[in-house]
């Protein structure tokens, strides 16, 4: 069994959440907050900052962890931390992404209504997130263990 840790930034602007689109023709098409796996000795906050810059071109100042979720299949188990962004600056662009990340095809701020017909992960971002945002994320929420499909 392999294990991993991942981190993502929750960046909002005018009641919209920044998501990136991962797409591979005929295989998947989903939207997630910018994020990815920890590298070397970096912290989850360092990871979220680096991944956000790579995937969106934005520099972020992070606040605190608001969601934790685990994902597992028969050979891999990882924990993902979603960190609220306090402020950000820069210009939204995909130009900084790694060359191998051809599956990363879009990045945009989406409203709750924009997300209705999209595959957004984790699912909490389509509903509970908006209440948590309105109340200032009163607590860190553990979202549970999700089994992921293997090909």
Domains detected in the chain? 2-94+105-147 (3.90.79.10)
80 CB burial (10 A radius; 0-12, 13-18, 19+): buried
Which strands make up the sheet holding 104-110, listed edge to edge? 28-32, 17-24, 104-110
- The pTM is what? 0.94
Residue-wise pLDDT for 8-67, tens only, equals 999 999 999 999 999 999 889 999 999 999 999 999 999 999 999 999 999 999 999 999
Residue-wise pLDDT for 99-115, tens only, equals 888 899 999 999 999 99
Q: Which tokens is 35 given?
A: 């994020």
Question: Which pLDDT score, from 0 to 100, does residue 150 have?
Answer: 54
């Amino acid at each position: 069994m392999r294990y991993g840790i991942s981190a993502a930034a929750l960046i909002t602007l005018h009641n919209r959440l920044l998501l990136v689109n991962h797409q591979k023709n005929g295989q998947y098409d989903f939207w997630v907050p910018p994020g990815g796996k920890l590298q070397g000795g970096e912290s989850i906050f360092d990871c979220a900052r680096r991944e956000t810059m790579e995937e969106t071109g934005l520099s972020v100042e992070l606040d605190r962890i608001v969601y934790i979720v685990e994902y597992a299949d028969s050979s891999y188990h990882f924990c993902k931390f979603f960190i609220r962004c306090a402020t950000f600056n820069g210009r939204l662009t995909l130009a900084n992404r790694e060359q191998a990340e051809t599956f990363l095809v879009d990045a945009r701020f989406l409203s709750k209504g924009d997300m209705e017909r999209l595959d957004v992960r984790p699912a909490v971002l389509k509903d509970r997130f908006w209440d948590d945002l309105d109340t200032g994320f009163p607590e860190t929420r553990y979202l549970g263990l999700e089994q992921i499909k293997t090909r």
